[in-house]
Structure 1
Amino acid sequence: MGGDLYALDFDGVLCDSCGESSASALKASRLPYSRLLQSVDSSMESWIIDQMHILRPVVETGYENLLLVRLLVELKAPSARKSSVADGLTVEAILENWMKLKPVIMEEWGEERDSLVDLFGRVRDEWMENDLSGWIGANRFYPGVADALRFASSQLYIVTTKQARFADALLRELAGITIPAERIYGLGTGPKVKVLQQLQAMPQHEGLSLHFVEDRVATLKNVIKEPALDGWNLYLGRWGYNTEREREEAESIPRIQLLDLSDFSKKLK
């Protein structure tokens, strides 16, 4: 049969959503953390937004933005500190050690993943309902990506930890593209490794060349650990939410191909 199937991450591959996710996290954080955030004035808010752009590579799922906002507040305002890790902590240390810090602060703050996911989604829904153009405008598709998606001759699937309704809204409203709901695997559809297994097992995909484009090295390494997925071509988008150190690590892994944005658009077309 021939042909290609592309499984595409959303945030950091198709869409730069960092401005929106940071603003949504600040809005959401003012609900459970209102007393803690009393010290956040406009200048500190601007500082937090700037640091969130630096820290974006550590975010695997959107709710983590709320944790990062609160931790940044604790860095700047000692009176707000409730965690054992904030004293002497730096933004660079968060970037390097997030996977170790996250369970500590969640336990010390008494947070639960599901409640944070619900809160983050609810705040985004309210923003969309009250100011759709403002919410849409806080995101941007990377240059050339919308046209590449629109004119792609390959089979396209979205495989993301973003809630599917938000990915769908951005594709339609910002990129002018409709991707059928059954081709958008969002938060709650299972780990990406499992989704890739499902896709390759579908009879209609037999004989297709399989490609997975991500911006997180850790996710690609999880794919490599699964022998059943040896047939996938794996790509790390250089333009996405990753660091120079992570790109250097990816270059040392034979299965992973580093991809530039211009080459990505050409591949889809």
Structure 2
Amino acid sequence: MTEQSVPLLVFDFDGVLVDGMAEYWWSARRAALALVPDLSLPEQAPPGFAQLRPQIHKGWEMVLMAAELGRPDLELAALLASYPAQLEQALLRWGLSPDQLQRSLERVRSEAIAEDLPGWLALHRFYPGVVERLQQLACAGSPWAVLTTKGGEFARQILRAAGLEPWALFGHEQGSKSEVLAQLLASQNRPIWFVEDRRPTLELVRSQAELGAVRCFLVSWGYLAPGDRQQLPDGIHWLEPEIFAAPLAQWP
């Protein structure tokens, strides 16, 4: 296999490589309380947070949803049924901007890393077999990258603690996932394979003609919404753990 035929595997981070649900609530709760101190939020994530997680796309949304879960009159079913519209209404309700919410989240995480890095890292866990598979890819000369809406330095800290060094790491600072994938297609003389756990993200990639050459995979683990596997569009392949662990030639 020539270098030009070896794909560049581009992995989403949260929900594909790492389960950080405990950290999401820990950080989102503190970031929300920093902005709205009179909120009443439990230490442990309420069930609604896990239900909302498949809808959440960017970090600032987690903070906003934490605030929403502190509302006594919240109608969770309505929020889940029309999340994008409800997101806009929630921003207006709280008088907050995405930038404010993101800055608060990143401040909480930066302080946690500075004050208790081992404690913060312990809130994350790699999915079974992921660390070993990424190490195998590196040993086999198959480059892999990380593309995440998390701040790049936060993802790098978690990877570094596991002894993992990606070919490249793209955080939200580098632009949207579609923008980064387009840049990779233009700059890399090799196939680009994109592995995600968020079906709407993959559907957006598939809808853009300039990204038609990107091979898309939806993992069977992670933060999936009910029905995500059903009637997958052409060009989005379902990826089970046993196939993830298999040689790339056996991937769909």
TM-score, structure 2 length as denominator? 0.90
Q: Counterpart in 1 of 2:125?
A: 140
Q: Per-residue CA shift, 1:107-157, capped at 9, x if unaligned?
A: 121111111111100001111111111110000010000111112032211
Aligned runs of 1:192-203 on 2, under 5 Å?
192-202=177-187
Q: Per-residue CA shift, 1:85-110, capped at 9, x if unaligned?
A: x3xx12x3322321110001101211
Aligned runs of 1:163-174 on 2, under 5 Å?
163-173=151-161
Offset of 1:71 from its aligned partner? 0.8
| CA 229–118 in structure 1, closer or farther in 2 if over 3 Å, else same | same
Aligned runs of 1:58-77 on 2, under 5 Å?
58-74=55-71, 77=72
Which one of the candidate residues 99, 112, 118 is aligned to 1:114? 99
Local SS of the residue matching 2:233: coil
Q: Counterpart in 2 of 1:266?
A: 246
Local SS of the residue matching 2:35: coil
Q: Quick check: 1:237–1:260 contact (8 Å CA) kept in 2?
A: yes
Aligned-partner Cα distance in 1 for 2:104–2:248: 35
Which one of the candidate residues 155, 159, 165 is aligned to 1:178? 165
| CA 52–268 in structure 1, closer or farther in 2 if over 3 Å, else same | farther
Q: Counterpart in 2 of 1:82?
A: none
Q: Quick check: 2:220–2:240 contact (8 Å CA) kept in 1?
A: yes
Q: Quick check: 2:35–2:104 contact (8 Å CA) kept in 1?
A: no
Structure 1 residue identity aligned to 2:148: T
Aligned-partner Cα distance in 2 for 1:132–1:267: 35
Aligned-partner Cα distance in 2 for 1:134–1:165: 17
Q: Quick check: 2:56–2:62 contact (8 Å CA) kept in 1?
A: yes
Which has more helix, going by share of residues?
1
Aligned-partner Cα distance in 1 for 2:194–2:126: 19
Provide the identity percentage.
Answer: 32
Offset of 1:267 from its aligned partner? 4.5
Aligned-partner Cα distance in 1 for 2:248–2:156: 19
Q: Quick check: 2:55–2:225 contact (8 Å CA) kept in 1?
A: no
- The number of equivalent residue pairs is 243
Local SS of the residue matching 2:112: helix
Q: Counterpart in 2 of 1:241?
A: 223
Q: Counterpart in 1 of 2:90?
A: 105
- Within the alignment, does 1:127 sit opposite 2:127 as a pair? no
Structure 1 residue identity aligned to 2:103: D
Deviates most, 224-233 or 15-24: 224-233
Local SS of the residue matching 1:151: helix
Structure 1 residue identity aligned to 2:244: F
Q: Quick check: 1:56–1:241 contact (8 Å CA) kept in 2?
A: yes
Aligned-partner Cα distance in 1 for 2:83–2:123: 25
Aligned-partner Cα distance in 1 for 2:127–2:217: 17
Local SS of the residue matching 2:58: coil
Aligned-partner Cα distance in 1 for 2:39–2:154: 29
Q: Per-residue CA shift, 1:31-70, capped at 9, x if unaligned?
A: 1211132xx4xxx443x44332222111111111111111
- Within the alignment, does 1:18 sit opposite 2:52 as a pair? no
Local SS of the residue matching 2:164: coil
- Within the alignment, does 1:221 sit opposite 2:218 as a pair? no
Q: Segments of 4+ in structure 1 off by > 4 A? A: none
Aligned-partner Cα distance in 2 for 1:27–1:268: 41
TM-score, structure 1 length as denominator? 0.85
Cα-Cα RMSD = 1.7
Structure 1 residue identity aligned to 2:201: T
